[in-house]
Structure 1
């Protein structure tokens, strides 16, 4: 039975799962979720009551959350690219960077972006400033951590890179990476050129009008 990914092309977390699928040319069906359609929202809620995508169906098994989807693929549908190293310490490093990207880039980036669609009287300037500060801290930490590495956790593309590709794309749109962080900027460039992410990025282009801060006209 084929895999089915319930997702939207413009979502950073959905792109994270798509990168893993594209890396190994894993066959799957894409189920486009449009929250503006009641039937789509209801179908997703039936799979995952939190109504968050991506969600992967693997036969009778429902796998939510992008990180868990990638680990599921690595275990049950392995390919040439392994997303978690066999070495336990190297696997911890990949998971650490994955958590930093999700918690300290993706989450505050969403705070900045979603605040822009609030009514002016409901906006949270203080919260947005705090979110930007967290992003800045994450940028500096990653710039130091990535020194001497081609990919996030070392020489091999991993789970950490699957999330860092969309994470750094959208974070840089919302809060530009400072020019002084040359290591991080070069890493972001490598991610954008990776064929798996280049494909996901191209598929997202028709939805760029959805970005509340405006299409930056690059990447």
Structure 2
């Protein structure tokens, strides 16, 4: 197998890359990494010293590719003949990259701080993080008023980022009634075959998620 994905099936950033792999119909091998296992930790660290997943190993090119957005760009250029996840139109591509970063920084960022607080039992003041998610939802509500997908009329890297970010964030700060465009967008996302597949594969691991009780029953 020319590609190996080093990942964990509960990781939102790994979900983002898995969605892209399934969208592009790329064959790959999965290597599940348990960072609590010394051998697994060392294996991932040898590929990417920061020891964070996902990482893809391209065996043909003898190259390791890290960071979810960079991995998707790499896969997008590698797989000819499929609809691009990042358009070749420069202006439109800027929009894709903007909303990709938006989901990673302004949805996943606060979400991960809230989850991390629960894991560490720090019981910190997370009002700022919850307010940040509410602000992000409001911005997305405006962005999605005109288009079906996050960065326009076609599914893109931004939507690969959106699906796991919104899936987990909505367990912490549910969408409000006024977020009707965002809610409709989330429903489109979770009906996407690539996203449905990722959620299905994550199901056996949801019990490890600190807010598992907030995951909607239809996903468990």
How many residues were matched structurally? 215
State the distance in 1 between where 2:157 and 2:29 align: 21
* Counterpart residue number, 1:118: 120
How large is the RMSD of aligned CA atoms in angstroms?
1.1
Pairwise CA distance, 1:76: 1.8
> What's the secondary structure of 2:119's corresponding residue?
coil
Report the Cα offset of residue 77 of structure 1.
2.4
CA deviation digits over 1:61-98, x for unaligned, max 9?
11001100000001122342211111111100011100
3-state SS in 1 of match to 2:64: strand
Q: Which residue of 1 aligns with 2:128?
A: 130
Secondary structure in 2 matching 1:212: coil
Could you say which residue in structure 1 is the equivalent of 2:80? 78
Runs of 4+ in 1 over 6 A off after TM superposition: none
Determine the C-alpha separation between the residues in 2 that align with 1:16 and 1:95: 14
Residue 163 of structure 1, CA deviation? 0.6
Question: Is residue 2:106 matched to residue 1:104?
Answer: yes
The higher-RCO structure (CA 8 Å, 6+ apart) is 1
Task: Give yes or no for the alignment of 1:201 onto 2:203.
Answer: no
In 2, the alpha carbon distance for the partners of 1:217 and 1:158 equals: 25
Q: Which residue of 2 aligns with 1:17?
A: 17
Aligned to 1:41: 41
5+ residue gaps, structure 2, are none
The equivalent residue for 1:164 is: 162
1:95 partnered with 2:97: yes
Contact 2:172 2:214 in 1 (8 A): no
Shift of 1:16: 0.2
Q: TM-score, normalised by structure 2?
A: 0.94
8 A contact 1:208–1:215 mirrored in 2 = no
Contact 1:82 1:158 in 2 (8 A): yes
Structure 1 length normalisation: TM-score? 0.95
Question: Is 1:175 the counterpart of 2:177 in the alignment?
Answer: no
